[in-house]
Amino acid sequence: MSVQPRKDLGQHFLVDENIVRVIGGLAELAPGDVVLEIGPGLGILTRFLAERVAHVHAIELDTRLAGELAGIERTTIHWGDALAIDATAFEPPPRKLVANLPYNVATPIVAESLRVAQLERWCVMVQREVADRFFAGSSTKAYGAVSVLVRLAAERTGFHAVSREVFRPRPNVDSALIAFRRIAPGAAPEVRRVVEAAFAHRRKTLANSLALAGVAPRERTAGALAAIGRRADVRAEALEPPEFVALTEALR
């Protein structure tokens, strides 16, 4: 491997072409697809995608990989931070996000990608515990803000546990592929603000957490909770995703 992975970028390069075929199946690739890839690394997945779809937009932060990613047909490489680049401006517009996501930014990338209205399907490789969070049920340890945001926008369509041996360097954690498709526009900005504030202090009641985050005074939140049939001392993990939408409306 000519480029050594950087730990500070959460890089674990794909080196197994068998898992790439699994990704292709879960992503339900079609010849007319325009795909967004984040963190292409050595380009194994990028080349696989480019041979099967109309166009690939790959976002890569590490310019050391320029040689590995050069000359891939039907592919545009966008150099920079995926959390700072506006993918809505890409032409042709991507409809699917298919990627082996860098471990250290996988959760915020998925959360932010839900705001890209043109994205319709996802197939992402992430740490197993992160994959478990995306569609976690309420009142479970894995349930959190990203669970609410993902479940408000999407439904799971596939899951595949991944061996540590498909990466270099070999990670110390298990990974998984998770696929999902959009079923709704997703959380409005005001709902997103309530959700993120609600889980900011998990050990506190939801009312106290919103107060600490400056979203609403405790008394006002208690009244809004009563309006949706919840006690004032409820914690965020007890609420189902649609209840956060109802709570936001009640807080108005």
Segments of the chain scoring below 70 in pLDDT? 1-2
* 162/217 same-domain check: no
Residues 172 and 156 in one domain: yes
Task: Please tell me the predicted confidence (pLDDT) of residue 17.
Answer: 83
Query: Are 81 and 100 members of one domain?
Result: yes
> Are residues 197 and 76 part of one domain?
no
Shared domain check, 212 and 94 = no
Q: What is the 3-state secondary structure (H, E, C) of 176-227?
A: EEEEEEECCCCCCHHHHHHHHHHCCCCCCCHHHHHHHCCCCCHHHHHHHHHH
Residue 1 falls within a domain, yes or no? no
Predicted pLDDT of residue 1: 53
129 and 204: one domain?
Answer: no
| Residue 153 located in a structural domain | yes
pLDDT, tens only, 136-181: 999 999 999 999 999 999 999 999 999 888 877 778 888 999 999 9
Coil/strand/helix, residue 122: strand
CATH number at residue 197: 1.10.8.100
Contact residues for 169 (Cβ-Cβ < 8 A; gap 6+): 5, 12
Domain final position from 161, 182, 203: 182
Q: In sequence order, which residues have a C-beta less than 8 Å from that of residue 214 and are 6 or more positions away? A: 197
Asked if residue 47 and residue 108 are part of one domain, the reply reads yes
Indicate the number of domains in the chain: 2
Phi–psi pair at 157, nearest 5 degrees:
-120, -15
Domain assignment present for 161 = yes
30 inside domain: yes
Domain extent for 231 = 189-251
Same domain membership, residue 209 and residue 170:
no
Task: Assess if residue 2 is contained within a domain.
Answer: no
- For residue 232, the Cα-to-chain-centroid distance in whole angstroms is 31
Q: Of the candidates 182, 207, 240, which is a domain's last residue?
A: 182
Domain final residue pick, 157, 182, 207: 182
For residue 28, give Cα distances in angstroms to 23, 72, 97, 109, 126. 9, 21, 12, 21, 18
For the chain, the C-alpha Rg in angstroms (whole number) is: 19
68 and 93 share a domain?
yes
Which residues fall within 8 angstroms of residue 186, CB to CB, at 6 or more apart?
114, 115, 149, 152, 153, 154
My answer on whether 102 and 223 are in the same domain is no
d(CA 121, CA 131): 15
97 shares its domain with 217: no
156 and 99, same structural domain? Answer: yes
Nearest alpha carbon to residue 202 among 225, 229, 227, 234: 234
- pTM > 0.85: yes
- With respect to residue 178, please indicate whether it lies within any of the assigned structural domains: yes
| CATH classification at residue 70 | 3.40.50.150
The whole-angstrom separation of Cα 210 and Cα 188 is 17
Checking DSSP bridges between strand 96-100 and strand 167-168, what pairing results, if any? unpaired
